[in-house]
Structure 1
Amino acid sequence: MTKPKHSIFSMPFAKVYPLYVQKAERKNRSKEEVDQLIRWLTGYDQIGLQRQIERQIDFETFFDQAPCLHPNSHLIKGVVCGVRIEEIADPLMKKIRLLDKLIDELAKGKTMEKILRQ
């Protein structure tokens, strides 16, 4: 018997994207920085990212169609929503939580160099 998919997997990425931007903007960060983080993690260019948002695709498709996960994404560690990223077994959930962690770090005022693991 297979476990049911988590509800966020089928949620449109475009529905959560404005929440990422709002969280960043509340802390005096910008939509451009949010886009930069998403592009860094997923390999989308700006046009590709915008196209995925406009197409209202779900999180699963968003990450399935992502050009490539950044090779340094394994350096993103810590806790998101009470769960340690390194202990997440489901590959899709891990990618979603990696993105959440990047947005959290942006909102907490970290420099882009530190967030992008440079």
Structure 2
Amino acid sequence: MEKTRVFRMPFSSIYPLYIQKAEKKGRTKKEVNEIIFWLTGYDEHSLQQQIINEVDMETFFKQAPHINPNASLIKGVICGHRVEEIEDELMRQIRYLDKLIDELAKGKTMQKILRK
């Protein structure tokens, strides 16, 4: 089975787009990082290593220290699909991150975004 194109995309090329989307709406890179840290378990150093190493999205999520157990609380529609109904685990994790960044850009509080 051929890998989905998004799986092969370098995280380092998508990360600036997340920041740009957030900053357009008055949010910050720090908040984007906080979301990534919460979802994946990366910290500042390990996130930068993934960016420097230009890992693809599949590797980024496979090497994540831990996916937050509360990620399953992320619900809603992203790219026309309900995230909670996406069967492929990797695609669901990618869409979780997309959904969280969308919520940030839409002005939700960090407390709500991080499912606290």
TM-score, normalised to structure 2, is 0.98
Question: Percent identical across equivalent pairs?
Answer: 63
Query: Partners of 1:60 and 1:44 in 2: how far apart?
Result: 15
| 1:74 alignment counterpart | 72
For residues 14-53 of structure 1, give each alpha carbon's deviation from its aligned partner in whole angstroms, at most 9, with x where no partner exists: 0000000000000000000000000000000111011101
Q: How many residue pairs end up in the alignment?
A: 116
Query: Are 2:98 and 1:95 aligned?
Result: no
Of residues 17, 21, 41, the one that matches 2:19 is: 21
Match of 2:34 in 1: 36
**How do 1:35-54 and structure 2 match up within 5 A?**
35-54=33-52
CA RMSD of the aligned region, Å?
0.5
Cα distance in 2, alignment partners of residues 89 and 5 from structure 1 = 15
Gaps of 5+ in 1: none
Secondary structure in 2 matching 1:67: coil
CA–CA separation in structure 1 for the residues paired with 2:102 and 2:84:
16
What is the CA-CA distance between 1:102 and the residue it aligns to? 0.3
Distance of 1:93 and 1:5 partners within structure 2: 11
Give secondary structure in 1 for the equivalent of 2:75.
coil
